[in-house]
Structure 1
């Protein structure tokens, strides 16, 4: 670990010296040696500490048993988050000096620092990330168990999201794609590096447990793909062409790619050799010591390479790219507001062919298809049956989610309220319908083996969420209906809407919220997966139509409204095509009113079909019972009627 930190600093100095990123500025604007070299050193320390924090939390939540090792992982996360906080604040102060060209001993530096933290978008984001790191430190040291680790992970993801938003100038070309790629890159690299560092810090006991290494290796494989894909996207945005590889920026980028390839090879060796050796040894004898020794040797190589990658990455981020990372010189109104050019006037074909890529959700959709089909294949190989139509339904759901987050709906949903409403309706009503019909929870429970060591894998986490008090409450049909219908009012008529439009974290939250609430509502009505105590079929239909009536009321309110929502966004696009902003908003209300009719009809048909099948199954059960006992129930009923008739005759 110490050697990895030293290698990171050496790589930083070497790469920075090569590219001249930290060389002295012009004499009248030089912030000083401390700011120029202290800032990247503090950023490197901050990145490494953030990685150890997230990696240790992932170990505690998904890999290690909730005992001694889990508590130690949380302690490591809490301490590293404290280091992360100090390093992030140090980098923030030194970075202010660098950004404002003011030495820290300048009398005006204090005023400049306050202005940077309160008025500057980058300063506020970095300060927010540092504060979240401090909260993470406290949380990780106080909580116990995988649930507490999961809460702390959400805090870390929020901090990394804020950090990712500062990695590309607002208003520069491909800003949204660059931010999503940076977020995916930061998360993947942090879990990969931090997970291995966390295992190393936990010591010999954890490394000799085959399950720990195997589980980490599987997670690291997904992280490697995420880092590679997001790195490729970010590199292309900043290079612009292959000829730019001949620049200093290109040379550092090639160095980073080679180091990542070496890391990928080391991870492959982990899966192929170390895990096999550890699983073949049942107790701590010479064989397991040799296997553990092999693990430590490969881990040392990985940690050293990761340190080098971290140092080169900071130097790369401080080096001017071939494509200037600056706001567009003569931006259009749409570029000023959204950070990307206004798409052409929408047509049916353009709704299918326009793209505004989101690296995080594109990767998530592809991973979702791969995981579901791998579970489906696992069932088929062992001879179990699983309906093909469920797999088709899942793939359709992932395709619809991809189109909403990266396709034509994303391109027009960012500039048109009506386009945004199409996104909302597809996320809340179409995607969940496909996901519910694919029964992913049932497939997971059948395909993924249970863990016996007290840790929580995907199966254990799903069962925990389904049966927990909070999960049961949120999945209750009435609660799900209230969230589904009432959430629209809370979202569109509060600052949440503007937050979702103007920040990437809000953007991600919006997509996750709409999809999750829609899934809970659809699962309460026609779900196949384990879930809440569902009401009777007539009550389901009443709940469905009551919710849709509220949805229609919301659409009518928008259609007849004359006050523009978020006017500083939709009202300043400078569109020369299409209806005016208020007319487009009214069109969005009509879409909210009308586009939900087909999903509502499908949900109603689904409830009716399940109702009919339930009655048919009940009739078959009654017939089988009658065959077994000679229709004793009917005979008893007829006898009871005969006795009543006899008593009535006597009384008369």
Structure 2
């Protein structure tokens, strides 16, 4: 049934889009004005940046945030919800996708420009220098390159520019998907400077802010995408809206949970809810509750009316949600300009450890604390729990369907998730930035132990058996998983030699360059380090003992040789570290003021020993998995050969006996050629196995 809209409905959608930035900027300015963020400080002796900076900074930030929302949401919806035109290839863009990518390019450009302008306003606000003062430009440039806040702004602008370039270069849906992933990465600098980043628990607040930004950006930008592409979607509009509705429901959960936890970190007591900061948080929470009710209503009534061709259904679908979401985003801008309430007690000066770690220095480490010490990592805790829950859900769904699944695979995956949670939230996560030895425990667990057990869980095979296949050409989780598993970059990075080389070289480069100290000092460096070693370890383990489709794997003898060489280099690296007299990141560890435990040199020697020893049990696990897979492969080949011989009446055996008979009656100078030991059927079976 056609779902084209009348001119009045189209005009309503355009007016709603025009109202979004106006509402967002207006709410941000009004809320900031009510909290006093737009008023001069009025303190004698302190420089005053002027009214242009006080009003311009929240305005530019609102423009930047809205441009980021449109970019992220439009690209995500394009990559996951919008089908291609009828009769076109799945990866073809078509009119609707092309229009959305063009709008994403425009909004990413605005995002980049607004990020640069915001850096200038931030410098003006921090230094009290009015915009346009003589010498202001050179000072702002120095601030942008010399201070963290300015660097975050430059990184945000650079990443937004990369996203805009990715939109220009995207000619197929695969390029759109890669660019959509880049937009999520581009949200990281915004999380570092958001209204959650100034607390003592900085790392936890930044992680929650990232989840919050992802949810709100996909939610708002997805609605904008529906408005922009509705006339070109035709009969696919209803299906696209349904898929977006499911996506928005997950965004609602993400925004609500991350927002509540972030507020809990920033509010020192329940009485702080009565402060201006608490009131803004309460208003934002009320907007989310209103949106949850609107979403329920739309799923129950509006989408059904849209399917029947109601001309005003689409306008009702997006108008209320976009306006309320814009208001909530404006409140977020005001929150970033409002200081959180101070504790009732006078704050104590931060210790060196608190200023560096963002929390108190942990006490002496004993054997019991290896298992009882926990500090929540708000990034890897939800990721690890989500991975475990998804796997259990998939196995239950598979068995309810009547299919079997190995309990060993389930146990391997859950053990890998538990190891990841312990390495990031347990004692290694608590002491990893305090003791080199515990850092090595964390590093080796993430790089060697976790990937092996995750690979043995064969998650790709499970996902392909559980996830639904889409029939209209749009790409859901199953289609994207297949596309990634067949992509050339994965095949290159997952080649056994490349994966093994990355595993060894990156480890040596990490410790013998400033990257190690950067990972200790910077939350961004720590997150990048964790993901890097988790990914390189997973690719190496997958190329050796994996059973998921996608990667090319060598013969079993070559796999054994590859494991021996790779871990041999790893052992050599550990020995060289034990022999080193240079203490890695000595300034960092000395600045913490730790008065207990081993000296820096002794602790580093212990860490090198741990690194050597913790490389042994993954070898054992991989060896058992390799031998088991090798034996099973030989048994399958033997059974296949026996079935073929039985089907062909021992054709291979008779041919070989005839060959031996000819050898006895032929001169040695005229030896007959040996028989072909593989029939056409067997060669076909071999080709099928290789595929």
TM, length-normalised to structure 1: 0.92
Specify the alignment match of 2:247 in structure 1: 219
Where do residues 307-456 of structure 1 align in structure 2 (5 Å cutoff)? 307-323=326-342, 330-456=349-475
- 1:12 aligned to 13, 19, 28, which one? 28
Q: Residues 621 and 107 (structure 1 numbering): CA distance in 2 closer, same or farther, change over 3 Å?
A: closer
Deviation sequence 1:304-332 (CA, Å, 0-9, x none): 110110111111221121247xx985333
User: Across the two proteins, how many residue pairs are aligned to each other?
Assistant: 641
Secondary structure at 1:374 match in 2: helix
Deviation sequence 1:229-248 (CA, Å, 0-9, x none): 22122211110221211212
Is 2:109–2:160's contact at 8 Å kept on the other side of the alignment? yes
Is 2:452–2:538's contact at 8 Å kept on the other side of the alignment? yes
- 1:554 aligned to 569, 573, 576, which one? 573
Q: CA separation in 1, counterparts of 2:630 and 2:168? A: 50
Matched, 1:41 2:59: yes
Specify the alignment match of 2:683 in structure 1: none
* Larger mean Cα displacement after TM superposition, 492-501 or 513-522: 492-501
Matched, 1:24 2:40: yes
Q: CA separation in 2, counterparts of 1:261 and 1:150? A: 31
Specify the alignment match of 1:284 in structure 2: none
Deviation at 1:111, TM superposition (A): 5.2
Deviation at 1:544, TM superposition (A): 0.8
Deviation sequence 1:41-84 (CA, Å, 0-9, x none): 11111111111011111123222233222221111111111222
Specify the alignment match of 1:297 in structure 2: 316
Q: Residues 399 and 224 (structure 1 numbering): CA distance in 2 closer, same or farther, change over 3 Å?
A: farther
Specify the alignment match of 1:543 in structure 2: 562
Q: Residues 277 and 307 (structure 1 numbering): CA distance in 2 closer, same or farther, change over 3 Å?
A: same
- 2:591 aligned to 536, 550, 572, which one? 572
Q: CA separation in 2, counterparts of 1:353 and 1:625? A: 58
Matched, 1:93 2:103: no
Secondary structure at 2:379 match in 1: helix
Q: CA separation in 1, counterparts of 2:443 and 2:41? A: 49
- 1:521 aligned to 540, 544, 552, which one? 540
Specify the alignment match of 2:674 in structure 1: none
Q: CA separation in 2, counterparts of 1:241 and 1:403? A: 30
Q: CA separation in 1, counterparts of 2:398 and 2:193? A: 44
Secondary structure at 1:359 match in 2: coil
- 2:297 aligned to 264, 269, 273, which one? 269
- 1:485 aligned to 504, 515, 518, which one? 504
Q: CA separation in 1, counterparts of 2:339 and 2:435? A: 34
Specify the alignment match of 2:172 in structure 1: 145
Unaligned regions of 5+ residues in structure 1, if any? 282-286
Q: CA separation in 2, counterparts of 1:392 and 1:271? A: 38
Q: CA separation in 1, counterparts of 2:122 and 2:265? A: 24
Q: CA separation in 2, counterparts of 1:17 and 1:175? A: 27
* Larger mean Cα displacement after TM superposition, 604-613 or 564-573: 564-573
Q: CA separation in 2, counterparts of 1:425 and 1:85? A: 38
Secondary structure at 1:497 match in 2: helix
Q: CA separation in 2, counterparts of 1:98 and 1:385? A: 62
* Larger mean Cα displacement after TM superposition, 180-189 or 299-308: 180-189
Q: CA separation in 2, counterparts of 1:102 and 1:312? A: 26
Secondary structure at 1:203 match in 2: helix
Deviation at 1:510, TM superposition (A): 1.6
Deviation at 1:401, TM superposition (A): 1.7
Specify the alignment match of 1:600 in structure 2: 619
Is 1:171–1:340's contact at 8 Å kept on the other side of the alignment? no
Deviation at 1:215, TM superposition (A): 2.3
Matched, 1:204 2:231: yes
- 2:476 aligned to 433, 440, 457, which one? 457
Deviation sequence 1:118-173 (CA, Å, 0-9, x none): 32211121122123223322332332233322333344334321222223698851
Q: CA separation in 2, counterparts of 1:650 and 1:85? A: 80
Deviation at 1:298, TM superposition (A): 2.6
Secondary structure at 1:23 match in 2: coil
Is 1:523–1:531's contact at 8 Å kept on the other side of the alignment? no
Deviation sequence 1:598-638 (CA, Å, 0-9, x none): 11111001101111112222222233334334433223222
Matched, 1:625 2:644: yes
Q: Residues 60 and 493 (structure 1 numbering): CA distance in 2 closer, same or farther, change over 3 Å?
A: farther
Q: Residues 559 and 257 (structure 1 numbering): CA distance in 2 closer, same or farther, change over 3 Å?
A: same
Q: CA separation in 2, counterparts of 1:393 and 1:650? A: 59
TM, length-normalised to structure 2: 0.87
Matched, 1:156 2:183: yes
* Larger mean Cα displacement after TM superposition, 601-610 or 410-419: 410-419
Specify the alignment match of 2:88 in structure 1: none
Q: CA separation in 2, counterparts of 1:502 and 1:461? A: 36
Deviation at 1:27, TM superposition (A): 5.6
Cα RMSD of the aligned pairs, angstroms, is 2.6
Matched, 1:185 2:225: no
Secondary structure at 2:129 match in 1: coil
Q: Residues 573 and 401 (structure 1 numbering): CA distance in 2 closer, same or farther, change over 3 Å?
A: same
Secondary structure at 2:424 match in 1: helix
Q: CA separation in 2, counterparts of 1:277 and 1:444? A: 34
Q: CA separation in 2, counterparts of 1:69 and 1:528? A: 38
Specify the alignment match of 2:14 in structure 1: none
Deviation at 1:587, TM superposition (A): 1.6
Specify the alignment match of 2:685 in structure 1: none
Matched, 1:241 2:269: yes
Deviation at 1:348, TM superposition (A): 3.1
Q: CA separation in 1, counterparts of 2:158 and 2:291? A: 32
Matched, 1:255 2:274: no
Unaligned regions of 5+ residues in structure 2, if any? 1-16, 85-92, 671-691
Is 2:191–2:197's contact at 8 Å kept on the other side of the alignment? no
Secondary structure at 2:312 match in 1: helix
Q: CA separation in 2, counterparts of 1:252 and 1:559? A: 54
Deviation sequence 1:359-403 (CA, Å, 0-9, x none): 222222232233333333332333322234433332322222222
Q: Residues 607 and 489 (structure 1 numbering): CA distance in 2 closer, same or farther, change over 3 Å?
A: same
Deviation sequence 1:562-602 (CA, Å, 0-9, x none): 11222332332221111122222222211111111111111
Q: CA separation in 1, counterparts of 2:652 and 2:141? A: 82
Is 2:69–2:217's contact at 8 Å kept on the other side of the alignment? yes
Q: CA separation in 2, counterparts of 1:539 and 1:376? A: 33
Is 1:436–1:522's contact at 8 Å kept on the other side of the alignment? yes
Which structure dedicates a bigger proportion of its chain to helix? 1
Q: Residues 97 and 541 (structure 1 numbering): CA distance in 2 closer, same or farther, change over 3 Å?
A: same
Deviation sequence 1:226-265 (CA, Å, 0-9, x none): 2222212221111022121121211111111111112222
* Larger mean Cα displacement after TM superposition, 161-170 or 519-528: 161-170
* Larger mean Cα displacement after TM superposition, 200-209 or 402-411: 200-209
